Amino acid sequence: MYLLVGLGNPGPEYAENRHNIGFMIADQIHRDFNFSPYRSKLKSNISDGQILGQRALIIKPLTFMNGSGQSVAEVVNFFKIRKEDIIIFHDELDLGFGTIRVKSGGGYAGHNGLKSIGSTIGSEFKRVRVGIGHPGEKNLVTNYVLKNFSNIERSTVEVLVIAISSFISELFENKDADFTNNVTKELSKMTQT
């Protein structure tokens, strides 16, 4: 069974924040693959379904970003999910807006949600890093990630989220480079029109 984790903060006031791109991706996958309605369980909004015949769970932690590890650990332990079957979707300050990278294991680049997850289950999980850009100065980061995407950014975010969902099966098959290339191509089509 695969575990797809969207990182973000619960509550309508955070829904469109840059920090909530993981929740946006989770919700797109949820819609596209007709997953069951979300229910609150194990400190998460959780849903189950199938992608290309593979059983999968989608979770959106209810513990806020900095406590994401609590809910992820509860779900992993309850369902006995292997670390290599976990895919985390999250925002990445160190990547240009709209850039996407896939990484397995390694450090957390100052991302408190990833740090929290790493402290509870270790770092051997796959991450889909979605670039939101950097405000330029460290002291501006908190306000930047907790602000909504601009009107100009929103159309790119919509295409990006749909593309990630469309090519999700490539992550299951460990075709990470194909996934990245295909998502990037979808974004470049948008800039050509």
Per-residue pLDDT of 47-65, as tens digits, reads 999 998 999 999 999 999 9
How much helix, strand and coil, in percent to the nearest 5, is found in the chain? 50, 25, 30
SS (H, E, C) 109-131: CCCHHHHHHHHHHCCCCEEEEEE
Q: Do 72 and 161 touch, CB atoms closer than 8 A?
A: no
Look at residue 145 and tell me whether its pLDDT is greater than 90.
yes
pLDDT at 190 over 80: no
- On the question of pLDDT at 84 being above 90, the answer is yes
How far, in Å, CA of 182 to CA of 66, rounded? 31
Residue 90 known to be catalytic: no
pLDDT value at residue 193: 57
> All domains of the chain, ordered by start, with CATH?
2-192 (3.40.50.1470)
Residue 173 has pLDDT above 80, yes or no: yes
pLDDT of amino acid 106: 86
